[in-house]
Structure 1
Amino acid sequence: MHIDPQDYEEHSSHKEKATPLPKMQIFIIMLVMLAEPISSTVIYPFVNQFVRDTGITGGDERKVGHYAGFIESAFFLAECTTVFHWGRLSDRIGRRPVLLLGPIGLAASLFTFGFSNSFWTLLIARCAQGAFNGNIGVTKTMVTEITDSTNIAQAYAWLPVMWSSGITLGPLIGGLFAQPARRWPQLSNIKFLVHHPYFLPCAIAGMLALTSFLMAYMGLKEVSKFRTSKSCRLIFLANLFYDYSSGEESPLLSNDLPRKYGSHPTEDSSSEISTLAPIEKEIPLKDLLTRPLLIALANHAFLAFLDQAHQAILPLMYSTSISLGGLSLRPRDIGLVMGVWGAFNAVLQIVFFSRIMKWLGPRTMYITCFSALLVTFSAFPVLNMLSKTTGSTNAMVWITICFQMTFYVAVFMGYGSIFMYVTASAPNKRSLGATNGLSQMTVSIARAIGPALSTSLFSYSVQKNILGGYGVYLCMTVLSLLGLLLAVRLPEHVWEEKEV
């Protein structure tokens, strides 16, 4: 779907009324999307102890981080290998069956993870979680297809809200419900929870995934007009699920054309519905990699890499002792900071994203939001310097933390901006699913590398006393500047159709 590059100016000048959002469809899609950040982060509070309990380290504490890193990175590595194929499959058999399959597999893999007692079972289950989360790109495709140029910014404002909400809820669930028999002695009579102390948080995350499946099964409508060939070997996947949301028992891939949201049925539309949608040619991968898409993908990957690096450094730096370059904050304090930030971020994204988008336009907004990374990374050494002056986290430190996290909210607004460039760079509508799948694949790779690289640089900077232990922040700042050089290559408006 290509967004007219003059849309933002026209809507600002002519005050065109925005098409109402299909709220129920948006809600269901966002619920499915919420499963990714929750399932990826729910294990963080207890994964290190879980690894110790498996016995894989042989009692060597120094190996815990090594094996825990494997499990944490396996999610995004598995996701990146499947996300493009989920997107391509959705172009062939429709969006709805792909979105319904994901939560089922995710729930099963989460239950398996919590039930495991060996390291290799944990690793396999973690890979399965990432693989079934590979359909996350399809959710973004559906958001694009059920909106138009008047309301797409309003819908995209919810995308970073879901991510920030998920990375707040995930660790909260994992930390609160891990080892329940030890936390609540009255549950010690339940032997299953004693023998499987990490099953409960995984089960809660799995139930959330099943809830999203049930909601999608009952209410999600198919939006893709493309019909797969009868010879397609995967047609049975489409026939597994019927679209009951319209009140009729009609196959998902019927001969009917879906009516555009915000439009009104007319006499002509009834005759039009009986015709089959024209099938656009499926574009090979090599032809999909156009210059506009490569620029959009590179910017999306850079943002995800630095964002994930920031998320990994923040709790590590906050919990490290002041003498070693941190703040000596307790886990409770760090959780409070992240929880308040998550709520604050969600509210600001919903209230201000679409308004700022109309005011600045996608390019200026993305560059401005990306620039906020320079402030957030630079705040880390300032925080430590302030703490060293008094030997504790004084009021000035907390004010600086608030300042840092406020700018981090701006970073998240950059996602909605770059999403528009990615979807608009699709060569045609038939390749929209593959385009978003390719985008999510590159982002998954970036998110797998970001935490490992940033935390390793943090440890190396402290151990070797590089720039007084602040060397990691210089590296992240330089990478942020390189990302800005890439950001300015984006056009003033989203890609015009003739450019693709």
Structure 2
Amino acid sequence: MPIDVEKGFHKGTLFTCVLAITAQSVMNLIILPTMPFMVKYYIPDVDISEVGYYSGFILSLYYLGQIPGCIFWGWYADQHGRKKALLIITLFNVICTSGLGISSNYYLTLVIRLIHGFADGALNVTKTMIAEISNERNLPLGTSFVFLGAALGRLLGPVLGGYLSHPENFSTLTSHFPILLSHPFLLPFGISAFMFVFVAVSLLLFSEETISEEEMTTSRECKAEMKREISGILRKGSKDYINSHEQLLLQYHKYSKYSSILKERDVLLTVLLYLLLSLCQMAFDSLFSPVLANKKIYGGFEMSSEEISLILMVASPIALVTILYSPSLRKLFTYRRTLMINALGIAFCMFIYPIESLFNQYNKTVVFTVVIVIFCIVVVSNVSYKEFRGTIMAFAWFCSCRVLRCFPFSTDGAATRTISLFIMILGLVILLAAVIIHFLTDVCDKGRGSITSTIVHSNK
């Protein structure tokens, strides 16, 4: 059934997207605080100074898999529909997340993470779906729901990862399921897998396809016909008449290759913007848990997994504020201006974060995390036509993953002492992103509809 965006959000589709984002955020937040302790479980005699190094591979191989995976799922969602793509991705998430819980070998975990990275394109597909069920009036609110799902996941994930990864706390449960004692991470990852099962059920029962069958069929037919006829159309002179069908083929030809897409200035800049902001967020997240778990003499905090989880859980509701202030900011400013305000604010947070290390000798400390891709989703969506939105969103994430895969690092004394400097460098990168925002044109605020809207019809 086609969705009429002018009537407001399709509630079933919106609910499913938020649930999918929550499930993925839970999975990621189970892993982040748990990584150092997973390494100690897999390699009992590992030196504490090398835990961060091994943890980095667990994190980065997922993004190595996403380099080809995000491109594939973006293409698949454009060709076969968002709903079908998300359903297949969700089933892969169930399998891979369960595999992480069962794994008791470090290298097997790395293989699972690599495969999972390729199979998981859910975030880009759900972002695209939310953009497509929104109209110009409610798009800021729709985008805020992305961060609602992420915030809920950040609230639940640390609890599951920190507390449930100690099965000795559940003697009644382990007496019935002794496998939980030999596989201490099965319980949190198993619950994460069940969340993806709920996503699949919601997708089948409540969600609608956000790109129509007619649009997908037209896209496939145009691409097939384009291969046959495009050379003849391109040979036509400027004075030759080009009918509406030939105009459509020319547009598909223009947007069918990444090399052609990136010739558009706004697309290139927004992809670069997405890369920088995603890089900073994931770099910060990857450093966060190993530093908190590291020894105080190295600038760490010597926190347990439960304490790290508590810090993450307390900080995460801050992201819920996004859903309150985003629509209000949009009434006052353009998308570009709003994104710049957020970028400057987060750069400030990055600059003051190193102050936390001065308090690591105290029993308690206040630590915070940030979410920094606010409104960037809207900007990426606005510079792309509907038929290619999934592909461009995936390409933006592809660029991010090319950098995010390079994150194994050591948390020995020398490395940890440079982390404060590194986080300040991330703040400078975000300031660079703010400069890029300044050079975007107003198409980022207005958005583009279907590619068919660009066709000029004539009675000739």
Same fold (TM over 0.5): yes
Deviation (angstroms), 1:444: 3.2
Aligned residue for 1:185?
Answer: 171
Deviation (angstroms), 1:470: 4.3
Alignment pair present for 1:42 and 2:30: yes
Q: Which structure ranks higher in relative contact order (CA pairs < 8 Å, sequence separation ≥ 6)?
A: 2
Pick which of 315-324 and 161-170 moved more: 315-324
Unaligned runs of 5+ in 2: 1-5, 222-247, 449-453, 455-460
Aligned residue for 2:92?
Answer: 105
Q: Secondary structure at the match of 1:227?
A: helix
Q: What is the aligned counterpart of 2:319 among 339, 345, 359?
A: 345
Q: C-alpha separation between the residues in 2 aligned to 1:59 and 1:381?
A: 27
Aligned residue for 1:372?
Answer: 345
1:247-276, CA deviations, whole angstroms, 9 ceiling, x for partnerless residues? xxxxxxxxxxxxxxxxxxxxxxxxxxxxxx
Alignment of 1:303-318 (within 5 A): 303-318=277-292
Alignment of 1:224-263 (within 5 A): 224-225=211-212, 226-228=215-217
1:417-444, CA deviations, whole angstroms, 9 ceiling, x for partnerless residues? 2112111111x33212211111222233
1:354-390, CA deviations, whole angstroms, 9 ceiling, x for partnerless residues? 11122122111111111123321222333344x38xx
Deviation (angstroms), 1:19: 4.8
1:444-473, CA deviations, whole angstroms, 9 ceiling, x for partnerless residues? 344444x54xx659954555xx6xx84334
The number of residue pairs the alignment matches comes to: 412
Q: 1:106 to 1:381 in 2, by over 3 A?
A: closer
Aligned residue for 1:433?
Answer: 390
Aligned residue for 2:438?
Answer: 488
1:205-240, CA deviations, whole angstroms, 9 ceiling, x for partnerless residues? 0000011001101111112122348999xxxxxxxx
Q: C-alpha separation between the residues in 2 aligned to 1:229 and 1:443?
A: 31
AA aligned opposite 1:127: L
Alignment pair present for 1:298 and 2:272: yes
CA contact (8 A) 2:51 2:290 kept: no
AA aligned opposite 2:329: I
Q: 1:285 to 1:206 in 2, by over 3 A?
A: same
Q: C-alpha separation between the residues in 1 aligned to 2:41 and 2:54?
A: 12
CA contact (8 A) 1:461 1:471 kept: no
Q: 1:90 to 1:342 in 2, by over 3 A?
A: same
Q: C-alpha separation between the residues in 2 aligned to 1:112 and 1:25?
A: 28
Aligned residue for 1:443?
Answer: 400
CA contact (8 A) 1:461 1:472 kept: no
Q: 1:141 to 1:230 in 2, by over 3 A?
A: closer
Pick which of 278-287 and 25-34 moved more: 278-287
How well do the aligned residues superpose, as a CA RMSD in angstroms? 3.3
Q: What is the aligned counterpart of 2:376 among 393, 408, 418?
A: 418
Q: Secondary structure at the match of 1:160?
A: helix
Q: Secondary structure at the match of 1:491?
A: coil
Q: 1:45 to 1:363 in 2, by over 3 A?
A: closer
CA contact (8 A) 1:26 1:143 kept: yes
Deviation (angstroms), 1:50: 3.3
AA aligned opposite 2:266: P
Alignment pair present for 1:28 and 2:2: no
Deviation (angstroms), 1:166: 2.0
CA contact (8 A) 2:379 2:445 kept: yes
Q: 1:41 to 1:384 in 2, by over 3 A?
A: closer
Alignment of 1:69-80 (within 5 A): 69-80=56-67
Q: C-alpha separation between the residues in 2 aligned to 1:65 and 1:497?
A: 42
Deviation (angstroms), 1:321: 5.7
Give the % identical residues.
18
Q: What is the aligned counterpart of 2:181 among 194, 199, 215?
A: 194
Q: C-alpha separation between the residues in 1 aligned to 2:259 and 2:416?
A: 44
Q: What is the aligned counterpart of 1:93 among 64, 80, 84?
A: 80
Q: 1:80 to 1:360 in 2, by over 3 A?
A: same
Deviation (angstroms), 1:285: 2.2
AA aligned opposite 1:47: M
Q: What is the aligned counterpart of 1:361 among 334, 349, 357?
A: 334
Pick which of 349-358 and 477-486 moved more: 477-486
1:275-330, CA deviations, whole angstroms, 9 ceiling, x for partnerless residues? xxx99736222212222111001111111111222333444555556664456666
| Alignment TM-score, normalising by the size of structure 2 | 0.79
Unaligned runs of 5+ in 1: 1-17, 233-277
Aligned residue for 2:241?
Answer: none
Q: C-alpha separation between the residues in 1 aligned to 2:377 and 2:220?
A: 34
Deviation (angstroms), 1:105: 0.8
Q: What is the aligned counterpart of 2:362 among 392, 395, 410?
A: 392
CA contact (8 A) 1:457 1:472 kept: no
| Alignment TM-score, normalising by the size of structure 1 | 0.73
CA contact (8 A) 2:77 2:125 kept: yes
